[in-house]
Amino acid sequence: MHGIKLNEPVTGTRAIVASSLAIIGLVATAGAAAGPAKDALDAAFPDGELVLVTDVRAAVAKAGSTGTLAPALAAIADQTNPVAVVIRIAEPAAPEDLDDAVNAALDQLLGAEVQLGVRPRILGAPGLDTQPVAAKLEEVAAKLRAFAYAAAIGDDVAEANLYRENFSARELMLLWPNTSAAFAGDLVARAMGLRCLIDNEVGWHKTLSNVAMNGVTGLSVPVFFDLHSADNDAGLLNAADITTVIRVNGFRFWGNRTCSDDPLFAFESTVRTAQVIQDEIAAGLLWAIDKPITKSLFRDIEETINARLRQLVAQGRLIGGRAWIDPELNPAAQLAAGKITVDYDYTPCAPAEELMLNQRITDRYYGDLANAA
């Protein structure tokens, strides 16, 4: 070449895009009388197909007159108007086959990202979440790095607490009692909608607890609550890792705990923080795959992660975090084989679950009275 040849090395940090968690995955039944209502239902929600709903409030009118779909969408819409992936299933002739039908539909959610371009991250089957279905919700939520809500089945606190012993997954939160006599899945649907609202307005680092719901007028079973003591219904349920509902300035969720058997992931916010960090960092480093292994690549990977962690700390979503590349974990033979190991840690924001107040009586302020006289 007779002249100047220009090379443009592409180095430096890359921005990591925030993950979208406020996407619902809903399994429901629906039916309608023959005629325009049935035609509208079949057109909007074909039986057994994944449907992307971008306007939940408008979808309620097309959701039929029987089954769980219409009341679930209405309860969600009372809280916010999120994006949802919906699977409508037909109620089988034999009631004992319903669990299998719901579980098969939950499996279909695994293909939502390929078919619809979105990944559901808030899962539920309101009114259909028997114990086998709740177990399936755990499984699917783990695969999608999502979070699931289900009802704690029981007529009283003791039965609900006993039911809780059937689960150990960090991706599941159990709720008790219900908020409607007409629809068994009302509370679960409202939890899904409120979760979306909190994600959008506050962030995934805030739990459901102590946030008021819209549209609730009562509870299926009264829940006794005393802010100053744990010796009450709400305290017993929370001690068993069940989130309940209290009536204080409206009806609000009360409880932060998942069903996790690992204390590290006891809080809903900790689980969802772990999911976000994992998703964002993995997706944010796609550009690094198949790049030549050089010092600049190490530096760019490390700084890309650290830049995102610093951003999350500045937003108040993390306490701290740091990424580094350990030479001992990256020996020459491993690097020559094209393998790099990157370490990073972070500290999630735990909810202020217990506030201790020390109240003391003193006579020291009597002196102020004399001085003021």
Query: Which residues contact residue 368 at a Cβ distance below 8 angstroms, ignoring those fewer than 6 apart?
Result: none
| Token pair for 266 | 């006891």
DSSP string, 157-179: HHHHHHHHTT---TTEEEE-S-S
Beta bridge partners of 67: 30
94: confidence class by pLDDT, cuts 50, 70, 90 = confident
In a domain, 13, yes or no: no
Residue 308's CB: how many other CB atoms inside 10 A? 24
Which of 270, 302, 333 is where one domain is finished?
270
123: confidence class by pLDDT, cuts 50, 70, 90 = very high
Which of 238, 270, 302 is where one domain is finished?
270
CA distance 90 to 305: 46
Q: How far is CA 206 from CA 39, 117, 194, 268, 314, in A?
A: 41, 26, 11, 8, 16
Where does residue 191 rank: exposed (0-12), middle (13-18), buried (19+ CB within 10 A)?
A: buried
Structural domain boundaries, residue 118: 23-270
CA distance 319 to 11: 29
pLDDT at position 252 over 80 = yes
Task: Identify whether residues 291 and 265 lie together within a single domain.
Answer: no
353: confidence class by pLDDT, cuts 50, 70, 90 = very high
Task: Identify whether residues 264 and 155 lie together within a single domain.
Answer: yes
Task: Identify whether residues 256 and 299 lie together within a single domain.
Answer: no
368: confidence class by pLDDT, cuts 50, 70, 90 = confident
Q: Which helix (H) or strand (E) holds 278?
A: helix 268-284
Q: How far is CA 6 from CA 3, 201, 297, in A?
A: 10, 47, 21
Task: Identify whether residues 224 and 327 lie together within a single domain.
Answer: no
Q: Is this structure's pTM higher than 0.85?
A: yes
- pLDDT number for residue 2: 63
pLDDT at position 34 over 90 = no
Beta bridge partners of 89: 29
Which of 244, 270, 296 is where one domain is finished?
270
pLDDT at position 11 over 80 = no
Mean pLDDT over residues 50-54, rounded?
A: 97
pLDDT at position 365 over 90 = no
Give the total number of structural domains in the chain. Answer: 2
- pLDDT number for residue 371: 75
Residue 123's φ and ψ, nearest 5 degrees, are: -110, 150
- pLDDT number for residue 189: 98
In a domain, 1, yes or no: no
CA distance 115 to 328: 42
Of 192, 239, 215, 177, the C-alpha closest to 76 is 192
Mean pLDDT over residues 150-154, rounded?
A: 97
Task: Identify whether residues 244 and 310 lie together within a single domain.
Answer: no
Condensed to tens digits (0 to 9), the pLDDT of residues 156-186 reads: 999 999 999 999 999 999 999 999 889 999 9
Least confident of 88-92, 255-259, 301-305, 334-338: 88-92
20: confidence class by pLDDT, cuts 50, 70, 90 = confident
Residue 88's φ and ψ, nearest 5 degrees, are: -95, 130
Task: Identify whether residues 122 and 166 lie together within a single domain.
Answer: yes
CA 312 to chain centre: 18
In a domain, 57, yes or no: yes
Condensed to tens digits (0 to 9), the pLDDT of residues 308-322 reads: 999 999 999 999 999
| Token pair for 44 | 């909007």
Mean pLDDT over residues 149-154, rounded?
A: 97
238: confidence class by pLDDT, cuts 50, 70, 90 = very high
Percent of the chain exceeding pLDDT 90 equals 86
- pLDDT number for residue 237: 97
- pLDDT number for residue 1: 66
- pLDDT number for residue 90: 87
358: confidence class by pLDDT, cuts 50, 70, 90 = very high
136-172 b/e with 16+ CB inside 10 Å = b? bbbbbbeebbbbbbbbbbbeebeebbebbeebebbbb
CA distance 266 to 238: 12
